[in-house]
Amino acid sequence: MTRADAAGSRSHWVGLWHDESGPVIGWRSPKGVPPRAASVAKRVAALRPDPTRVTLAAMARMAEVCAQLLPGGRTEGRWWRAPDPRGEGRPEVRVLIEGAGAGAWIVGDRESGGSDPLSLARTLTGERRGQATARLVRILRGSFPGG
């Protein structure tokens, strides 16, 4: 079945596809992407933060990130130690804040862990990848008023 058949034999359809510049959202005709739709789709894609770039930026500023994600913590050498904000009775969270491997984290005695600030944010907040990425962007911009 072709896309035209799936759309009820219409000549145009709306969707998400990839081209040489990355993901494109918009409508497409059998002859290709209209120039206006392509430019709108590129602007929309540019508004979404790149999780890889956000993670690297957060790794460079782990102490600030930890202060927001894990309030009530303290620095001990190269580590940030804080009670788990997900609730009472949970073990302490430790995050490596400097040096090689900055951003690596562990809960308790290897109950769970990860290697980057994005996975830490996702675990602590239960958010999806895009939401956690947006949270890290707000922290890095300094406009994170607590939640």
Q: Tell me what pLDDT residue 85 has.
A: 82
Q: Tell me what pLDDT residue 34 has.
A: 61
Q: Tell me what pLDDT residue 2 has.
A: 46
Q: Tell me what pLDDT residue 15 has.
A: 54
Q: Tell me what pLDDT residue 38 has.
A: 65
Using DSSP's 3-state secondary structure scheme, residue 73 falls into coil
Beta carbons within 8 Å of 107's beta carbon, 6+ residues apart: 84, 90, 91, 92, 93, 94, 113, 123
Residues composing the chain: 147
pLDDT beneath 50: ranges in the chain:
1-14, 143-147
Cα–Cα dist 147/123, whole Å: 15
Average pLDDT, the chain: 76
Cα–Cα dist 134/131, whole Å: 5
Q: Tell me what pLDDT residue 79 has.
A: 94
Q: Tell me what pLDDT residue 108 has.
A: 80
Q: Tell me what pLDDT residue 66 has.
A: 94
Q: Tell me what pLDDT residue 67 has.
A: 93
Parse the chain into domains and list their residue ranges: 3-47, 51-141
Q: Let me know if domain 51-141 sits in CATH 3.40.50.10810.
A: no
